């Protein structure tokens, strides 16, 4: 009986990590699109992987004016050594 429970625990751990990764990705996309952290976190936690799809669409087509996505573009550039504050 122990090997079966051990396999179940590993699958549960992988699903937990997938669930948390989806919440982090949705939260990042919603902040960059200018909608705040809470809507992205809520959709990521409630819809898991399926929550990423609407935020990718919103991030790509409907960012709020003045958001980081609207000002810096789709893919954020890493600041160079000259741009970083000291």
Residue 22 lies in a domain: yes
Residue 24 lies in a domain: yes
Residue 82 lies in a domain: no
Q: Supply the pLDDT for residue 11.
A: 84
- Residue among 26, 46, 48, 47 at smallest CA distance from 37: 26
Residue 49 lies in a domain: yes
Span 31-81, pLDDT tens digits: 999 999 999 999 999 998 999 999 999 999 999 999 988 888 888 887 777
**pTM summary value:** 0.80
Residue 25 lies in a domain: yes
Number of domains in the chain: 1
Angle at the Cα of 24 (from 19 to 25), degrees rounded to 5? 100
């Amino acid at each position: 009986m122990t090997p079966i429970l051990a396999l179940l625990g590993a699958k549960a751990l992988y699903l937990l990590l997938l669930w948390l990764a989806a919440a982090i990705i949705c939260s990042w996309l919603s902040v960059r699109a200018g909608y705040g952290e809470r809507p992205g976190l809520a959709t990521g936690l409630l819809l898991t992987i399926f929550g990423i799809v609407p935020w990718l669409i919103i991030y790509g087509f409907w960012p709020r004016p003045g958001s980081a996505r609207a000002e810096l573009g789709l893919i954020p550039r890493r600041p160079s050594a000259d741009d970083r504050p000291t």
